[in-house]
Structure 1
Amino acid sequence: MRKKNVVLENVPVTGYAAEGKALARVDGKVIFIEGGVVPGDVVDVRLGKNKKDWAEGKAIRTHTLSPDRVEPFCEHFGLCGGCKWQMLPYSMQLQYKQQQVEDHLRRIGHLELPPLPPILGADKTQRYRNKLEFTFSNKAYLTDEEIRAAGEEWPRRNALGFHIPRLFDKVLDIRTCHLQEEPANLIKNTIREWAEANDASFYDIRRQEGWLRNLVLRICTTGEVMVNLVIHHEDETARTALLDHLLATVPGITTLLYTINPKKNDSIFDLEPQVYFGKGFVEERLEDFMFKIGPKSFFQTNTYQGEALYRVARDFAGLTGSETVYDLYCGTGSIGIFVSRQAGKVVGIELIPEAIADAKENAAANGVTNASFFAGDVIDICDDAFFAAHGAPDVIITDPPRAGMHEKLTAKLLEVAAPRIVYVSCNPATQARDLALLSEKYTVEKVQAVDMFPHTHHIENVVLLQRKHR
């Protein structure tokens, strides 16, 4: 079974493992399966990695379809890298996500857990993202059927859509995406049609040439719409013609920007977007708080579930109006501002200076006077002098990136020993690792998973840690 090019036949799929991979067992060996399979399917699997106790592979043939399957709603399902769980009923998606959270906390963190309440599912399972980024490419991904159907005449080369997983230079042309409200598809299709009609060049990532690079859309629950067109180099005549055409064709755009990016990577955080139309930012609402979002701002991608997530964090914090709350990885201050009315003082810390500037502006715009925000690494900032100046924390809220917290930060939190820590995570595996380190002084009091991204395997999880009695 450990030989190369092994195909396992008639494998019953029994569940899901981490990262949305399906799970099966053959002769006691664990098989992780990619390829859009569902528990209850019976498939043939071609193995890739093949170790003694486990293997990874891809489903290449389906013999029996699970009775739990549902029809995917998107024409791009199976090719696009997003929404990979469309074929799974939403209730079952939630079930497997809940199971994954518990498995990670128990198996990686070796933690004693209280009874876990059900995961908070989303009321809105389509068109829930407020931000999407599309890529222009002169190397459209084509299926075998499309190539055969084209015959001697080579089919379209340009694409505006999403990268095909594991193919960095191939982009799937997306006409209709179900992740974002309109006018998202109208904007995207209008730009593509203008570009094709006017022979505008789509970017070639291998040669590092071409004019149109990326398209970033923000569509807020407030109705405000931000468009940021990223181009490789300035062409004022073409740029003005395209942006004017877009404004004339698509009603409702409140802010239109363009960014010139001649670099080899797609990041725009070290670039300066230029305002072409509108105020240069959009405003989004969480409860009755308003947040200014610029073209480089971080904000929870699902506003609806972001609000639910923040309510959980605020509830877990157990605030009575007098506590000093430290908001680590505070970004643009959204969590700190969200809990500010229940706190005595909020101290936000974030590495990125631009985000801190936004946090201060958001606090002022919402009349929040008990919050202060500081730029820098929390390990460097939080010394004895800082605590003497701003007060020792009664509650720490930490919301790190997917990689989790640096080991030095967990050591710092153990040193600070605040009575309560609320750990918000977008990766329960790294969260479990960090909680294991913090278990030296803390116990897990509450756990609440929140589904921010329906039809994907991604999960947000909030944990309340209580300091042990000394």
Structure 2
Amino acid sequence: MSRKMKNMVLEGLEIERIATEGKCVAHYEGKVVFVQQVAPGDVVDVRVTKGRNSFLEAEAIRIRSYSKDRVEPFCQHFGVCGGCKWQHLGYSLQLSYKRQQVIDQFQRIAKVPLPEINPIIGAKDDRYYRNKLEFTFSNNRWLTKEEIASGESFEKNALGFHVPKRFDKIVDISHCHLQEGLSNEIRNKLRDFALAKGISFFDLIRQEGTLRNLIIRTTLSGETMVIVQFGEENSEAIHAVMEFLHTSFPKLTSLLYIINLKKNETFHDQEVHTYAGTPYIEEVMEDLKFRIGPKSFYQTNSHQAHRLYQVAKEFADLSGDEVVYDLYTGTGTIANYVARHSKKVIGIEYVEAAVQDAHINSELNRIQNTEFYAGDMKDILNDEFVEKHPAPDVVITDPPRAGMHEDVVKRLLSLGASRIVYVSCNPATQARDVALLADRYEVTAIQPVDMFPQTYHVENVVLLTKKTQ
């Protein structure tokens, strides 16, 4: 019956609260209805997009009355671009919902005794906070309903972000409120130059075209890296584009390009060419420098990354005599951040290029008590590895959204470190792993950190202490 409800219009639903992944909840004849891009307190008419026996998913087609908690979105692209889904909510309200999300996930999934969850650490800036953005060139721009209805012809090329759930449609971005510095000027000038010169934008369906992708990375100290991906080996166009960027923005720290002939934009297996400047930029955190290459992972909110690492170090409670295992170490940012307060830090990471960056960051900061190993976590952290290395007093783990593999959780139980500091961008999988560790560890502190204002995403740090009995 629920599937037959698809496309039905349900009128006058009151939005009650926010659930996981930013979806709002209403009810219709005993069924939960999930609706996006509305706010608690709205009264809306919705169209059902998906029906299940226990719940429905729907889109709002009319707002009958607005919630008192709504604010005016500041971005002209809000509602089309999927990047900032919570601009219609005030920032203090966003923070309270994010903290509640952590509470809900741990109560529903972990089901272990919990301390009071600390107030969330909000961001210093709720816009212009990202140090990395990726834009896609496309010859298939997303047209608004008004543009289509007008019957006029519009420019079909675009440089911007994917429309949610549409890999082939790109929203042409005129101003993005996520990244400061030269970001908007670089994107807009490059798009205008390419249009004027007739350089082709990529066709995402046919997989052809010259200009494919633009990545802009920045640091708090004012350094900027620009990476242009080309979809074909057109030497004349490549030179024209790169020389235009070099002459238009002569102060760029790093100007790079990639010729990517694959069917996706990932480039970890591609050669990166340096057109001008250095092949890297450097971020500064306290008295540490972190070198960031085109393939390096670095937390995309530099200010909040510092706060996140401060929390991790505080939870680790290091005296200088501890052996620390830093699992999923990435480019070794947390490992190097805590190294000066530890006896030894051993970092493990799947991506070999990231481990190379971790070594460089230790050398750059003259840190000599770190070791880094590359490989799949569940395979590297085996009996042989444990026999060759000192047992950890503290484990810091920062896995991807999927959480830790069950074999890794079992290994942590057998290692028996006094403290585990678990950093996660997904409280649901974090809560699942905490439940698996509950036989030997108790949760003694939980600290949410907001890394991504205007979105429903939340970072969370949990301190697990080994039980005495």
TM-score range, shorter chain: over 0.9
Offset of residue 117 of structure 1: 1.2
Q: Give CA-to-partner distance per residue, 1:293-350, whole Å, 9 cap, x none.
A: 0000000010010110010000000111100000000010000101111111100011
* Number of the residue aligned with 1:203: 202
Offset of residue 390 of structure 1: 2.3
Please give the alpha-carbon distance, in whole angstroms, between the structure 2 residues aligned to 1:238 and 1:75: 32
Please tell me whether the aligned partners of residues 186 and 250 of structure 1 are also in contact (alpha carbons under 8 angstroms).
no
SS in 2 for 1:186: helix
Paired residue type of 1:49? K
* Number of the residue aligned with 2:192: 193
* Number of the residue aligned with 1:109: 110
* Number of the residue aligned with 1:63: 64
Paired residue type of 2:13? V
Q: Give CA-to-partner distance per residue, 1:140-184, whole Å, 9 cap, x none.
A: 0001111233x3x42111000000001110000001101001200
Paired residue type of 1:84? K
SS in 1 for 2:171: strand
Offset of residue 446 of structure 1: 0.5
* Number of the residue aligned with 2:275: 276
Offset of residue 251 of structure 1: 4.5
Please give the alpha-carbon distance, in whole angstroms, between the structure 2 residues aligned to 1:243 and 1:158: 20
TM-score normalised to structure 2 length: 0.97
Asked if 1:93 is matched to 2:94, the reply is: yes
Q: Give CA-to-partner distance per residue, 1:259-303, whole Å, 9 cap, x none.
A: 000001111011011000011100011222110000000000100
Offset of residue 54 of structure 1: 1.9
Please tell me whether the aligned partners of residues 147 and 155 of structure 1 are also in contact (alpha carbons under 8 angstroms).
no
Please give the alpha-carbon distance, in whole angstroms, between the structure 1 residues aligned to 2:376 and 2:394: 19
Asked if 1:80 is matched to 2:84, the reply is: no
* Number of the residue aligned with 2:20: 18
Please give the alpha-carbon distance, in whole angstroms, between the structure 2 residues aligned to 1:302 and 1:344: 29
* Number of the residue aligned with 2:393: 394
Paired residue type of 1:39? P
Please tell me whether the aligned partners of residues 363 and 369 of structure 1 are also in contact (alpha carbons under 8 angstroms).
yes
Paired residue type of 1:70? V
Q: Give CA-to-partner distance per residue, 1:411-461, whole Å, 9 cap, x none.
A: 111121211111000000111111111112111010000000000000100
Moved more, 199-208 or 235-244: 235-244
Following superposition of structure 1 onto structure 2, how do residues 62-461 of structure 1 map, counting pairs within 5 Å? Answer: 62-149=63-150, 151=151, 153-461=152-460
Aligned alpha-carbon RMSD (Å): 1.2
Moved more, 328-337 or 108-117: 108-117
Unaligned runs of 5+ in 1: none
SS in 2 for 1:169: strand
Paired residue type of 1:92? L
SS in 1 for 2:44: strand
Please tell me whether the aligned partners of residues 378 and 405 of structure 2 are also in contact (alpha carbons under 8 angstroms).
no
Offset of residue 469 of structure 1: 1.8
Asked if 1:44 is matched to 2:52, the reply is: no
Offset of residue 215 of structure 1: 0.3
Instruction: Report the identity percentage.
Output: 53
Please give the alpha-carbon distance, in whole angstroms, between the structure 1 residues aligned to 2:145 and 2:46: 21
Please tell me whether the aligned partners of residues 95 and 450 of structure 2 are also in contact (alpha carbons under 8 angstroms).
yes
SS in 1 for 2:340: helix
Offset of residue 19 of structure 1: 0.5
Q: Give CA-to-partner distance per residue, 1:45-101, whole Å, 9 cap, x none.
A: 112222333221111110001111111110000000111100100000001000000
* Number of the residue aligned with 1:6: 8
Please give the alpha-carbon distance, in whole angstroms, between the structure 2 residues aligned to 1:391 and 1:435: 24
Paired residue type of 1:145? E
Please give the alpha-carbon distance, in whole angstroms, between the structure 2 residues aligned to 1:264 and 1:422: 38
Paired residue type of 1:445? T
Offset of residue 381 of structure 1: 2.2
Please tell me whether the aligned partners of residues 396 and 422 of structure 1 are also in contact (alpha carbons under 8 angstroms).
yes
Offset of residue 192 of structure 1: 0.4
Please tell me whether the aligned partners of residues 49 and 57 of structure 1 are also in contact (alpha carbons under 8 angstroms).
yes
Please give the alpha-carbon distance, in whole angstroms, between the structure 1 residues aligned to 2:457 and 2:371: 32
Please give the alpha-carbon distance, in whole angstroms, between the structure 2 residues aligned to 1:154 and 1:440: 65
Please give the alpha-carbon distance, in whole angstroms, between the structure 2 residues aligned to 1:53 and 1:231: 46
Paired residue type of 1:459? V
